Structure 1
Amino acid sequence: MTLGSEARALLATTAGAPMLPRTCVLDAAWVEGRGWALLEANAAWGAGLNGCDAAEAARCIAEATRA
């Protein structure tokens, strides 16, 4: 199942939450009967690309490791 506009909206809203670090990777999961939900948030450098834009992922990792 690919991320649709509903999942992207959930992740965009979650990404703006003040309790998250500047950069992290958000995983969404489809919950039958409920819809999309945030599954987990992980450090940028520990995530696989999983269909992400490699250049964007590299920028995220660079930002996460900046002093």
Structure 2
Amino acid sequence: MFEAIEVRSGEGKRIVEEFSDINVYEQGKEALKEYAEKHRKDKSREMYVYHTKNEKLLIEERKVW
């Protein structure tokens, strides 16, 4: 899990320029559980759970209504 420190939008994607590692997990469920806890406490932080098998960091932007 990481927190996007410097990020921008472009072509429907979130482009992370700078990030900070929060934690590394053996199991995805652990990561999602901690993400939910941290997000519940502070919704202003832009955090992501991303698997290291991915060679590129591709984050599609979601529209929240």
Verify same fold: TM over 0.5.
no
Q: TM-score range by the shorter chain?
A: under 0.3
Q: Give the TM-score normalised by the residue count of structure 1.
A: 0.26
Query: RCO higher in 1 or 2 (8 Å CA, sep ≥ 6)?
Result: 2
Larger strand fraction of residues: 2
TM-score for the superposition, normalised by structure 2: 0.26
